[in-house]
Structure 1
Amino acid sequence: MLLMQAYLLVATLVVSAQCSSSILFVDSTSGSYLADNNKVINMQSSSLSSLMSALTGLMLSAVDEDASSAIEKVLKPSPLKKPRAHIVLNIAGIPNAMLADLFDGKSVLEVQLQDDEDTSAVAIVDSLTSIASTNPDVAVSMLDYKGLEGCMGNCLEEYLPAASSYMLAEHSDSQLTFPTGVRLDFDSLSDKMFAIEATSLYAGLQAQIQQLSFNLDQDIQILETTLLGLQGLEATYGPDSEVVISAREALCNLVKWAVSSLDESFKGDVTYQVTGFKGAPKKNTVQEIMGWKQERRRSLLSTTPSSNNMNTNNPVYPPTNQTAAAQIFTAKACGYGAFILLLYFGIAAIWCMCFMPLKQDTMLFGAKKQD
C-alpha cells in the first residue's frame, strides 16, 4: 500500500507546469528598500538574479535591459543602504495570497516571471547559486539542510515536539495531531516527509539564530528554504481534503513564527522573497520530488561553506570558487589603489597651495600681484 502511495504521490504535478510563476518581495519593517508600487511587475526569470543582487547589494556579472527595468520598478534607489539579511522561502502548496497575509503591516510587491512553465522555484535556486558563486565570502544558508545537518540522531524525536508547538499541533509517538483533530501518520511516506521538512525548518532556524549571536558583525546573510511536503499531501489526500487544509494552516503558523523570529533577530532590517509555487514540475513520486530538490540545490550547496566553517569568524580557505574570489580580490585591490592615489594627489595639491614659495602671488590668499 505504501509503495502504491509513493507512485501515486504528486500525480497532479503535471498540471502545475501550466500555472503562472509569481514571486512576492516583502520589505523590511521600516519600508526602506521596495518601491511604492501596487502593480504586478513582469520580468524574465533570467533577470531574477540581477534583481536579487541589487536588493542585497552583492556583485553580479552583468545587468541586462529587462533586469534594469525591473530593478527600477521594484527597488528604491538606495545604493548605500542594504538589509542585514534576505530570506528566500519556496513553499509548495500554499497560495501567494495566503503567504502575503503572514506579513501584516509590510509592503509586498508581486513579480510575475514571463515563462511558459511554473519555474519560479528553479529560477530562485539558480539565481542563488549564481550569487553565491560570484560572492564566495557571503553566507548563503539553506535552513532546512542546516537543520538536518545539526541533528544528533533522529530529527523527529529531537525537534518535532518543539516545532509542533509553533504549528499549534501535538506530537505523540509516530503521529502529528492538528487542532482540527486530523492526524498525520509517519508510516505514510508523504506524512513523514511533511513532518521532516517542518522539523528541519525549525531546527535550521534555531541554529541560524544561535550562530548570529556569535557573529554580530557578519555581512549580509542570505537564508533559503524549499518545502515540498504539502505537495505530497495534496496528491495523496486531495487538494481540498481536511488533511491538506489542516497541514497548510499548521505550516503557515510555523512560517509566521519563523518570520517573527527573523525580524527580532535582525531588528526588522530583513527582506523576504516568497513563492507559493505548485511543486516540483513533472515529478510523480516522493523519490522524484526529493531527487529534484537535491539536484536543484546541489550546485548551491557546493558553493556554500559547511556549517563548521561558518561558525567561526575565519574565512573559508581556500575559497570554494577560486576564480570568483580572484575577481573580487582584483576589484577590491583596484578600488583601494585608486583611493590611495586620489588621496595622495589631493594632499599634495593642498600642500603645494599652502607652502609653495610664490604663494602670495596666487589667488589663494586674495593677495595682489607683487613684483
Structure 2
Amino acid sequence: MIALLLPLFAACFAAAAASTPLVLVDSLQNAYVQPGTALSLDKSSVSALVAAATGLMPGSAIGADLSHELSQILKPSPLVKPRAFVALNVAGLTTDVLGELFANRQHRTVELTGNGCSAMAVINGLSSVAAANPSAKLVVVDQLGVQNCKDDCMKQLVAGAVEDCQMDMSSLDLTQQEEKLFSVELATVYSGIKAQLAAVQKRSELKVAQEEVEVYEVSLMGLRALINKYGQDSPEVSAAKAAVMQLLDWAVNSLDAAYAGDIMYQVLPLQKAPQQAETLSQLAGWKDRTRRQLLQASYPGTVDEETAAAKLFSAKAAGYGSFVLLLYFSAAAIWCMCNMPFKRDTLLYGSKKDQ
C-alpha cells in the first residue's frame, strides 16, 4: 500500500495556490444540489459542506458567510437528506472521465481553494463530521475490505473483483510492486463495498429502519503510481484506467440499487503528478495516520468511568426532574377541578331574549 500513496503525499507538500475541483453529484431519487456554475470554497470548510449535504452535525460552528455559500451549492432541505454519502478520491483520472459514471445526474463543481492538501482536507472534513456524530456510520471502505483477511484471501478477492466488475488486467504484470499494489487496492475497495452491500441487504430483510445517513470514504491512488512508472499513454496505464472505471461503475450501480437511488457522491479527482519522491517510511506513516484518524473519529474509544458516571447522573436528574414537574402539574390540575365553582354558566344557560 506504500507506493499507492506516493502522489498523494507529494501533493500535500506542493504549492497549494491552485484550486482543486470537487464535484458534488446528485441523487437519482431526490435533488439536493443547486444547479449553476462552479463556486469557490476554502479547504477548511469541507466538513461544513459534508454536514450540510448529509444533515449531520458539523464539526465546528458555521458562520453567516459560510452558510450563505453553502446555500448556493446545496438546496435548503433540512428534513430531506440522502440515505448515503460517498466521498470518492481518485488519482489519475480527469473530471471528464469520472463524469461518465454520473452522466444522467445533476452535479455541481466546487473549487477548493486555500492552503493545504485537498485530499487531506477531505480526510479532515470527514473525521470532523464523524467525531461530531457518534451515532452516524463512517465506512472506511478499504479498511473494511481487509478485515478478517487471512492466508490467500487477497488472491480470492482479486479474482472476485475481476469477475464481478468484468475487469481485464491481463496486460498487467501482477508480480511487479506497482501492479501488485494496484490490484490489491482494487480488491480491498471491492471487498469493502461488497461487505457493506450485504449489511444493507440484511437490514432490509430484517426490516430495520436506517437511523442516520451512512458516509463512505473511498480512495483510489494506485493508478497514479502506474502513471509515474509507465507514462500516461502506456498500454499498462490504459488497462489500469479501464479497470478503475469498471470497478467504479460496478460500485456506483450496486450502491444505487442498495439505497434505491437515494445516495450522493462527492468526487475529488487528483490529477497532478508528484514533484518529489518521498521515502517509503514517510509514505507508510502517512497511510497509517490517515487510516487511524478516520477510524478514531468513527470509534473514539471507551469513555472513562468519571465521565460515564457524570452522564448517568445527568440522565437520572433529568428523569427525576421531569417526573416531579409532571406530578406537580397533575396535582394542580386535580386541585383546580376539585375547587371549580359549579354554577350555571351565563353563556350556556343564559336568559331567553324575551326575558
User: TM class by shorter-chain length?
Assistant: 0.7 to 0.9
Q: In the alignment, what sits opposite 2:191?
A: 203
- Note the C-alpha offset of 1:303: 2.5
Structure-2 separation of matches of 1:271 and 1:336: 39
Q: In the alignment, what sits opposite 1:217?
A: 209
Aligned runs of 1:173-184 on 2, under 5 Å?
Answer: 176-177=169-170, 183-184=171-172
CA contact 1:43–1:111 (8 Å) conserved in 2: yes
CA contact 2:228–2:273 (8 Å) conserved in 1: no
Structure-2 separation of matches of 1:41 and 1:341: 54
TM-score, structure 2 as length reference: 0.79
User: What per-residue deviation string (whole Å, max 9, x for no partner) do you get for residues 268-323 of structure 1?
Assistant: 11111111113696662583444433322321112224xxxxxxxxxx98469x98
Structure-2 separation of matches of 1:343 and 1:52: 40
User: What per-residue deviation string (whole Å, max 9, x for no partner) do you get for residues 18-40 of structure 1?
Assistant: 653121111111233222x2210
> Which of 108, 120, 123 in structure 2 is aligned with 1:122?
120
Q: Sort the Cα spacing of 1:283 and 1:193 in 2 relative to 1 into closer, same or farther, 3 A.
A: farther
Aligned runs of 1:177-256 on 2, under 5 Å?
Answer: 177=170, 183-215=171-203, 216-219=208-211, 220-256=213-249
Structure-1 separation of matches of 2:194 and 2:288: 22
Q: In the alignment, what sits opposite 2:53?
A: 55
CA contact 1:27–1:34 (8 Å) conserved in 2: yes
Structure-1 separation of matches of 2:43 and 2:122: 8
Structure-1 separation of matches of 2:67 and 2:314: 22
Q: In the alignment, what sits opposite 1:173?
A: none
User: What per-residue deviation string (whole Å, max 9, x for no partner) do you get for residues 49-92 of structure 1?
Assistant: 11211221111231124431222011111111121111111111
> Which of 260, 263, 278 in structure 2 is aligned with 1:267?
260
Task: Give the greater-gyration-radius structure (CA).
Answer: 2
Q: In the alignment, what sits opposite 1:309?
A: none
CA contact 2:167–2:242 (8 Å) conserved in 1: no
User: What per-residue deviation string (whole Å, max 9, x for no partner) do you get for residues 170-217 of structure 1?
Assistant: 4xxxxx31xxxxx21122211111101100011001111112233342
Specify the SS of the correspondent of 1:149: coil
CA contact 1:47–1:66 (8 Å) conserved in 2: no
User: What per-residue deviation string (whole Å, max 9, x for no partner) do you get for residues 315-346 of structure 1?
Assistant: x98469x98x9999999999999999999999
CA contact 1:230–1:244 (8 Å) conserved in 2: yes
Specify the SS of the correspondent of 1:185: coil
Q: In the alignment, what sits opposite 2:85?
A: 86
CA contact 1:24–1:100 (8 Å) conserved in 2: no
Q: In the alignment, what sits opposite 1:3?
A: none
Aligned runs of 1:1-371 on 2, under 5 Å?
Answer: 13=10, 17=15, 19-35=18-34, 37-60=35-58, 61-116=60-115, 119-170=117-168, 176-177=169-170, 183-215=171-203, 216-219=208-211, 220-278=213-271, 284=277, 287=280, 288-305=282-299, 318=302, 357=340
Structure-2 separation of matches of 1:331 and 1:58: 24
Structure-1 separation of matches of 2:158 and 2:243: 13
CA contact 2:9–2:286 (8 Å) conserved in 1: no
Structure-2 separation of matches of 1:57 and 1:149: 29
Q: Sort the Cα spacing of 1:317 and 1:193 in 2 relative to 1 into closer, same or farther, 3 A.
A: closer
Q: Sort the Cα spacing of 1:260 and 1:301 in 2 relative to 1 into closer, same or farther, 3 A.
A: same
Q: Sort the Cα spacing of 1:41 and 1:258 in 2 relative to 1 into closer, same or farther, 3 A.
A: same
Structure-1 separation of matches of 2:277 and 2:256: 37
- Note the C-alpha offset of 1:232: 0.4
CA contact 1:280–1:292 (8 Å) conserved in 2: no
Specify the SS of the correspondent of 2:101: coil
Specify the SS of the correspondent of 2:151: coil
Structure-2 separation of matches of 1:107 and 1:226: 23
Any stretches of 5+ residues in structure 1 without a counterpart?
A: 1-5, 171-175, 178-182, 306-315
Which residue identity is paired with 2:230?
Y
Aligned-residue CA RMSD (Å) = 4.1
Moved more, 83-92 or 291-300: 291-300
- Note the C-alpha offset of 1:355: 9.9
Structure-2 separation of matches of 1:361 and 1:280: 91
Any stretches of 5+ residues in structure 2 without a counterpart?
A: none
Which residue identity is paired with 1:266?
Y
